Amino acid sequence: MNDLLTDRLAIADLAARYCRAIDRRDLAVLRELYAPGGVDHHTGFDGTIEEYISWLGTVLPLLDGTLHVIGNHLAEIHGDVAVAETYALAHHWGAPDDDPARNFTSLVRYVDRLERIDGVWRIVERWAVRERALSDVGRAVPGAVAGPAGTHGADDPLTRLLAEVRTAGQVHG
Amino acid sequence: MNDLLTDRLAIADLAARYCRAIDRRDLAVLRELYAPGGVDHHTGFDGTIEEYISWLGTVLPLLDGTLHVIGNHLAEIHGDVAVAETYALAHHWGAPDDDPARNFTSLVRYVDRLERIDGVWRIVERWAVRERALSDVGRAVPGAVAGPAGTHGADDPLTRLLAEVRTAGQVHG
Amino acid sequence: MNDLLTDRLAIADLAARYCRAIDRRDLAVLRELYAPGGVDHHTGFDGTIEEYISWLGTVLPLLDGTLHVIGNHLAEIHGDVAVAETYALAHHWGAPDDDPARNFTSLVRYVDRLERIDGVWRIVERWAVRERALSDVGRAVPGAVAGPAGTHGADDPLTRLLAEVRTAGQVHG
The partner residue sitting opposite C42, judged by closest CB among B67, B145, B147, is B147
On whether the CB atoms of residues C69 and A89 are closer than 8 A, the answer is yes
Confidence tier at C7 by pLDDT (50, 70, 90)? very high
User: If you average pLDDT over residues C108-132, what whole number do you get?
Assistant: 97
Which pTM does this prediction carry? Answer: 0.95
Q: Regarding beta strands A45-48 and A34-42, do their DSSP bridges make them parallel or antiparallel, or are they unpaired? A: antiparallel
Q: What is the pLDDT of residues B73-92, one digit of tens each?
A: 999 999 999 999 999 999 99
Q: What is the pLDDT of residues A38-56, one digit of tens each?
A: 999 998 899 999 999 999 9
CB atoms within 10 A of CB B13: 18
Q: Which chains does B contact via 3+ CB–CB distances below 8 A?
A: A, C
Beta bridge partners of B73: B86
Q: How far is CA B165 from the centre of its chain?
A: 23
The partner residue sitting opposite C81, judged by closest CB among B16, B144, B165, is B165
The partner residue sitting opposite A111, judged by closest CB among C136, C157, C169, is C157
On whether the CB atoms of residues C65 and C102 are closer than 8 A, the answer is no
Which residues of chain C neighbour B16 with C-beta distances below 8 Å? Answer: 72-74
Query: What's the pLDDT at C170?
Result: 52
Interface test with B, best of A33, A93, A103, A165 (most B CBs within 10 A): A165
* Helix axis angle, B4-23 to A4-23, nearest 10°: 60
Q: How far apart are CA A74 and CA C159, in angstroms?
A: 13
Q: Tell me which of A172 and C123 has the higher pLDDT.
A: C123
Query: What's the pLDDT at A173?
Result: 46
Query: What's the pLDDT at B169?
Result: 58
User: If you average pLDDT over residues B164-169, what whole number do you get?
Assistant: 84
Cβ–Cβ below 8 Å for B147 and C43: yes
Confidence tier at A146 by pLDDT (50, 70, 90)? confident
pLDDT over 70 (residue C2):
no
Q: Using CB atoms and an 8 Å cut-off, which of residues 37-66 of chain A contact chain B? A: 65
Q: What is the pLDDT of residues A16-30, one digit of tens each?
A: 999 999 999 999 999
Q: How many helices (H) and strands (E) does chain B have?
A: 4, 6
Confidence tier at C149 by pLDDT (50, 70, 90)? confident
Query: What's the pLDDT at C169?
Result: 58
Confidence tier at A143 by pLDDT (50, 70, 90)? confident
Q: What is the pLDDT of residues C123-143, one digit of tens each?
A: 999 999 999 999 999 999 988
Confidence tier at A119 by pLDDT (50, 70, 90)? very high
Q: How many helices (H) and strands (E) does chain A have?
A: 4, 6
Q: How far apart are CA B12 and CA B86, in angstroms?
A: 9
Which residues of chain B neighbour C74 with C-beta distances below 8 Å? Answer: 13, 16-17, 20
pLDDT over 90 (residue A170):
no
pLDDT over 50 (residue B29):
yes
User: If you average pLDDT over residues A93-109, what whole number do you get?
Assistant: 96
C25: left (phi over 0), alpha (psi -120 to 50) or beta: left
On whether the CB atoms of residues A66 and A83 are closer than 8 A, the answer is no
Q: Percentage of residues in chain A with pLDDT exceeding 70?
A: 96
The partner residue sitting opposite B147, judged by closest CB among C44, C87, C134, is C44
Residue in chain B closest to C101 (alpha carbons) equals B141
* End-to-end Cα spacing for chain C: 13
* Interface ipTM: 0.94
Q: How far apart are CA A31 and CA B44, in angstroms?
A: 37
CB atoms within 10 A of CB B29: 14
| Residue C128, min C-alpha distance to chain A (Å) | 17
pLDDT over 80 (residue B13):
yes
Confidence tier at C44 by pLDDT (50, 70, 90)? confident
On whether the CB atoms of residues C145 and A134 are closer than 8 A, the answer is no
Backbone angles phi, psi at A172, to 5 degrees: -130, 15
| Residue A82, min C-alpha distance to chain C (Å) | 8
The partner residue sitting opposite C71, judged by closest CB among B17, B65, B70, is B70
* CA-based radius of gyration for chain A: 17
Q: Using CB atoms and an 8 Å cut-off, which of residues 118-157 of chain B contact chain C? A: 136, 138-141, 144-150, 156-157
Q: What is the pLDDT of residues C80-94, one digit of tens each?
A: 999 999 999 999 999
Cβ–Cβ below 8 Å for B158 and C76: no
User: If you average pLDDT over residues B9-31, what whole number do you get?
Assistant: 97
Query: What's the pLDDT at B145?
Result: 76
Q: What is the pLDDT of residues B128-164, one digit of tens each?
A: 999 999 999 999 998 877 778 899 999 999 999 999 9
